[in-house]
Chains A and B, each alone.
Chain A
Amino acid sequence: MFTGGQSFVSAPPTFSNDGKKLLVCTGFTVSIFSTSTGMQIAELEGHTDRVTSIVVVPVAAPASKFMDYCWTSSLDGMICYWDFSVPELIKKVKVELPIFSMVIPNISNASIGSGNKSSTLYAFVSVEDKTKPDDQHKALRGQIRIYNLTSSRRVGGLLAETRNPEHIIVSRSGEFIGIKNKRKLHVWRIPEDFKPDEIKKIKLHHTKNLSALAFHPTERMVAGGDVTGRILIWRGFGMKKFTETLRESRGRPKLDEDRPGVRGNDDADSCSTWHWHPSEIKFLLFSSDGAYLYSGGQEGVIVVWQLDTGKRKYKPRLGSPLLYFVDSPDPSLSCVSCADNQIHILKMPTMEITKSIAGIKLPFSFPDVYDGLHKEFAYDQSNGLIALRTEDYCVQFFSLFDNSEVSQVQVCERNFQPVDDPTVCVALVALSSDGFLMCTVDVKLPEERLGSLVSLKFWTRGLRVGEYSLSTVIYEPHSDAGISAVCFHPGQSMAVSSSFGGDFKVWVHSSVSRLRDQKHEKAGWRCQSVGSYKRKPMTAAAFSADGSVLAVAAETVITLWDPDTNILVAVIGEALSPISKLSFVGKSEYLVSLSRSSKPQVALWNTSNLSMYWSYKLFAEAVCCAGNAPQFAILALSSSQNDIAVRDQEGIILLFDVENPVPLTTWLVKKAKGGGLAFVTKDQSLLVNGYEDNARGEPSLLAYINSDHEYIVFDPHNEDGRIGKSARRSQAPPEEAVPIGYTSIYGELPKIESNKGTDWDIPFVPSERPWETIFSGSSHVLPPLTKLCSTFLASLLEKRPPIADES
């Protein structure tokens, strides 16, 4: 049993000190990726709930650059201290309330190598107070608390209470921390030797709800972004309050001079507003030199503002709304997290994407018209792939065993713009059983019944898994009616598409051009036959295991056809409500149907005597069949109401044998609404590792994917279910010390010992007037002048003869 498909973008990622590793919060664990390869290196396991923030302990001296320590916080109420180079858990601090955000402002004081071990670390955590009732909307559930990490206890009182737990931002120097609270910014000043009881706070007001916040690295400047896309920059905040004691001593009363843009009594010198973003700002970040401000949001463009002039530069077409932007200690590296579960590592001055860390695509909202369809995934059972439709008109192929993206296929050639109500979407994906053929349906919704378009596309796979090329496009295959289902023949190049317009079409692939003379005759898919049954909407379709029977659901009845001759063979009984999914059970003569509307039903039909075998009143999300074995699994919702608002619905997976209406096994799962279920074959690499498999190539593992696109793969027949993870741990790149920054250009600096007691190892004799030779050589091989200065000056001095020491 193993899990995967975690979100990489639930919290901002963090770079390690050398900029070679990226720590990403992935569900209950922290995954460490290499920034040069984009592969996962290691994983920190220990938390029992979602990890919410990571703080890497900075290093002061370059000698200890391979020391990798970090603090993490999680919703399980724990703060953990890790050595992530090993990786190993060192220490745990209990907070006992779910932590939503944590910062450690004075962490640079306690950094490794600075020698200042005595200082205590104080963590500022944003927790959710569970004692207050959730149903009360006015309750202040978010709290900011302070914990002493050295002694693992809470100190001080509450810094602030907010309605929801807020994300805490800390300035680079650790002097200020801030949160946004509705239309206000709260900023605290944390002096280096602070007492937890004496922390001063100011508030900055705005007229809109604020959504992002950033501190300038060197100056007293704070930027806030609001939900309308405006960026406000307060300069010189807290001059009055944070420097109060100083002012009294100097006796310089501050007059109420002109403070442009500052509201009311806010403690700031000026406030200016920039507006480019049309919608909410998700992140703000000042560049490390303080000259630029990065902002981004829903429209998926990183905007680079020049602080002095307000000029903008853009990095467009990242393909998704942006969530976080994080810079690294290495100034040429930063990363941006996108809402489609991708982290792009950017090469900095040019903002060129060097690597992308892609997770499984997250669910997104489909147009309402295709509400009935939006739960479908497609599976490539033999390769253990799941095909998901993405928001930017692609199909993503995700490997369940490797927990990594395999490829993306662009279905519609259209530039993606994040909008609230999408009008174009990929409505259906179907894969043939061997995965060599793919069929997609993309739909363009009409604007007031004008200009709708349905197109059916057939794709063929290239040499590599997940690499598809377009073969045939069919526009408006069922005139203007929508397509309800597409499925492939198990053996030959044949597909069927059923439409709500009341007909289904059988498509065949004309393999070779039969007429050589006519050059326009190309290989492609064409319609072989059209069938309909009493003009009823066709809602589902399935081929039997040998491909000899085609079952098409005409609302409540199931019609059986011979796909080659297009002859109606038989009609089976009546379901309670329109059937939304059909599936043959292995090689048996049984057929499962799911109905999802007001009267939900799961029914098993016998095609040999054309009757219903049994049925349950269950609201089933998905059904899948185990290859040739006469078994099938159903994902059913335990509460049958069709309510999308309840996302966290409990579900149940039932494994049936066709002979028996009593399920063989059941499993309880969460977030079943919108989930999926599939049998997959065991990974070939696992077989090599000594796991015996009786029927090679037979799908024997059950994969369940929930509504958040997290999945679990387990063996339904084995109670232990220990499959073990695949070999992706071995993807760690060889750790070679690649010099960065200065050393990458000039090489390591020679160690210059400041200890006076030791002899200088200057490679020349002092009597030779060393100041003439010390600078000889080309300038680019010489160490910088500041390093040379002491050597030079020392060489000028007459060395005292060692006789003095002897005496």
Chain B
Amino acid sequence: MADTTSKKPFFPVDDHRHAAPLRTPKTLTPESRFWRSFTTSPLVSDLHLPVTSLEFSPSPPFDLAAACSASIHLFHGGSSPSPAPKPFSPLSSFSDVAFSPSFRCDGALLAAGGASGVVQVFRSDRAAPPLRRLRAHSRPVRAVRYPRLADKLHLLSAGDDALVSYWDVTSETPLLSLPAAHRDYVRAAAASPASPDLFATASYDRVVKMWDVRAAANSNSVLALDHGDPVESVLFLPSGGLLASAGGNSVKIWDVIGGGRLVHSVESHNKTVTALSLGRTGGLDGGKDGGESRLLSVSIDGYLKIFDFAAFKITHSMRYPAQLLSVGFSPSGLLRVVGTSNGIIYMGKKKKQREEEEDEGATAASEFDWSNPKPEKPVLRPTNFRYFRRGQNEKPGESDFVIKRPAKVKLAEHDKLLRKFRHKDALVAALNKKNPNSIVAVMEELVARKKLLLCVGNLDRDELGLLLGFLHKFATMPRHARFLMGLAKRVLEMRVEDIQSSDEMRGHVRNLKRMVAEEIRIQHSLREIQGMISPLLMIAGK
């Protein structure tokens, strides 16, 4: 008779008592899988000083600029397998610390600020002395930004002297100078992706201000957003309508078109968030195959978090073994870099999958061969074996009513043997499986049937060896100890002759002896600890 028709369910022998709390296996979301597919390795590890900023060139091959101490390091983005330092790198024509490299929109020029207050503009393709030196700041310039749209002539700089300047680079003259734009150090600036005239600056006075260079002559900001903590980084999100600011432990998303409304606040870091960057899932090869944009944030606590600002949730998080100061994501979507405070730049590189390329080739081909008729699917005929299996793997549609087949009880081998009352075989089968919980469960079931000692008596030599090996390993495990210690003692008493007659058995017994000695030692030390703690507890109780 079929088991499913009977009334009582079948209970497999299981270790109900010792079952660990159920942990649902963590399944990776596709997003996590994407982020994990980057192979992480250190790009540079001999800088020793904090990497304060990382910037990718906006044009292929997406070169990387990293600011570290008194130089800007340039890496060739197109080289494989990892970005190689350019021959003229590092640019070391700084008299002191260099900050905030920024590429021009065509990637031909690179501007960087310095601790002395001078902003220098370099060629990014070959070694040359600085093309321009922009002098207006009296304190270190921590924020230099080229506009992101097609404006090749101007740039914005902001420094610790709370001065914000908008420069005409060619003539080295500030078109706009906003003294005391903030009431504290300005540490971050961002250019709007929507307009070449819009900039945001953020300062330690906890305020993010937006400037329109066309209307800022009266030194009033367009918009002021109160972040609440000293702001470390600011970033426009791709539409230009949203702005992200990082300061303290939080990242805040603001709606700038809607008048500076706080849209969301991400409080997922445990320490100060130091840098923000834009990333993208999926898409390879530039912006061709979109993917979704993500906000990458790094923090002193060593975590890189990836935030989906469409769904307002953290989709992935990675930990690095150091404090993180800067982050960058290549527009190609293949490279992710993170800079730490001890001079290591970690690089995550995504392997380009060859199949995808081939796919692309194939689709491209089909675009041209549109006139070519598709090969017709041959009609299945009874001459084909598949004819008889057609539809068997069909998945139910959404509107289909699914009648589930009753779940089959899965029986382990020892369960089957126990059902046939083959007790010794069941015990041996469980011992061979080497899962301590199921072995103990089978033993307890045998106790309930009053057959355990009989089974132990009937074990032949190899099986006895198995049992002794199991006892040696697990008899002192606290959750089984009460039962297994007694059993071990009983086994030794019952099978004295067999044990004495074999060397192998004697080896097992020696192991057992050693285990017992070890356990006694542990118990002694536990006693000692208890003795030390109990007076403390007594005092605490009073």
Interface residues of A (CB under 8 A from B): 313-319, 344, 350-353, 356, 392, 413-417, 419, 421, 423-424, 444, 446-451, 453, 455, 473, 475-476, 480, 520
Contacts and interface: CB of A to CB of B under 8 A. Distances in A.
Contacts of B452: 447, 450-451
B374 interface: no
B541 to A, nearest CB: 14
The 10 closest A-B pairs by CB, nearest first: A451-B447, A317-B6, A352-B5, A315-B1, A413-B11, A317-B8, A447-B447, A319-B8, A423-B448, A450-B486
Interface string B453-486: 1000000000000000000000000000011001
Nearest to A422: B448
A356 B1 contact: no
A415 B3 CA distance: 13
A99 B21 CA distance: 60
Interface in B424-464: 443-453
15 contacts: A318-B6, A353-B5, A353-B7, A416-B8, A417-B449, A421-B450, A423-B450, A446-B447, A447-B451, A449-B486, A450-B453, A450-B483, A451-B452, A473-B17, A520-B21
B21 A451 contact: no
B443 to A, nearest CB: 7
Interface of B: 1-3, 5-8, 10-11, 14, 16-17, 21, 443-453, 482-483, 486-487, 490
Given A350-B5, A447-B450, A451-B447, A475 B10 contact: no
A451 B6 contact: no
A450 B487 contact: yes
Contacts of B490: 448, 450
Contact of B444 (A314, A392, A444): A444
B82 to A, nearest CB: 40
B7 A319 contact: yes
B450 to A, nearest CB: 5
Given A424-B448, A448-B453, A318 B8 contact: yes
For A317, A444, A520, the residue with the greatest tally of chain B CB atoms inside 10 Å of its CB is A317
Given A444-B444, A451-B443, A451-B444, A316 B1 contact: yes
B77 to A, nearest CB: 43
Contacts of B482: 476, 480
A356 B450 contact: no
Contacts of A450: 447, 452-453, 483, 486-487, 490
A417 B448 CA distance: 11
A451 B444 CA distance: 7
A344 B450 CA distance: 31
A480 B453 CA distance: 20
Contact of B10 (A317, A352, A353): A317
A421 B450 CA distance: 10
A476 B447 CA distance: 16
Nearest to A315: B1
B1 A351 contact: yes
A303 to B, nearest CB: 10
Contacts of B5: 315, 350-353
A646 to B, nearest CB: 30
Given A444-B447, A444-B448, A453 B17 contact: yes
For B16, B443, B453, the residue with the greatest tally of chain A CB atoms inside 10 Å of its CB is B16
Given A316-B1, A350-B1, A447-B452, A455 B7 contact: no
A450 B484 CA distance: 9
Given A413-B16, A447-B453, A455-B17, A318 B1 contact: no
A415 B486 contact: no
Contacts, number: 84
A69 B2 CA distance: 38
Contacts of A319: 7-8
Contacts of B450: 421, 423, 447
A423 B447 CA distance: 8
For B17, B447, B449, B490, the residue with the greatest tally of chain A CB atoms inside 10 Å of its CB is B447
A356 B8 CA distance: 12
Contacts of A448: 453, 490
Contact of A414 (B448, B483, B487): B448
A520 B14 CA distance: 22
Contacts of A446: 447
B226 to A, nearest CB: 30
A416 B448 CA distance: 11
A455 to B, nearest CB: 7
Nearest to A353: B7
Given A450-B483, A476-B482, 13 more contacts: A316-B6, A317-B3, A317-B6, A317-B7, A353-B7, A415-B10, A423-B450, A444-B448, A447-B447, A449-B486, A451-B443, A453-B17, A473-B16
Contacts of A421: 450
A56 B486 CA distance: 61
A356 to B, nearest CB: 7
A353 B1 CA distance: 12
Nearest to A346: B5
A475 B447 contact: no
B470 to A, nearest CB: 15
A393 to B, nearest CB: 10
B7 A453 contact: no
Contacts of A473: 16-17
B7 A344 contact: yes
Contacts of A415: 8, 10-11
A446 B444 CA distance: 9
A351 B446 CA distance: 31
A352 B3 CA distance: 10
B485 to A, nearest CB: 10
A149 B129 CA distance: 131
A350 B453 contact: no
A424 B6 CA distance: 23
For B6, B21, B449, B451, the residue with the greatest tally of chain A CB atoms inside 10 Å of its CB is B6
Given A316-B1, A413-B11, A451-B447, A475 B6 contact: no
Contacts of B3: 316-317
A414 B441 CA distance: 11
A450 B10 CA distance: 26
A472 to B, nearest CB: 13
B267 to A, nearest CB: 15
Nearest to A342: B7
Given A316-B1, A316-B6, A351-B1, A453 B444 contact: yes
A424 B13 CA distance: 14
Contacts of B446: 447
A447 B486 CA distance: 11
A473 B446 CA distance: 22
Nearest to B483: A451
A720 B141 CA distance: 105
B417 to A, nearest CB: 14
Nearest to A421: B450
A416 B7 CA distance: 12
Contacts of B448: 414, 423-424, 444
A315 B448 CA distance: 24
Contacts of A313: 1
B8 A423 contact: no
Contacts of A353: 5-7
A473 B448 CA distance: 19
A421 B443 CA distance: 19
A315 B6 CA distance: 7
Contacts of A356: 7
Contacts of B453: 447-448, 450
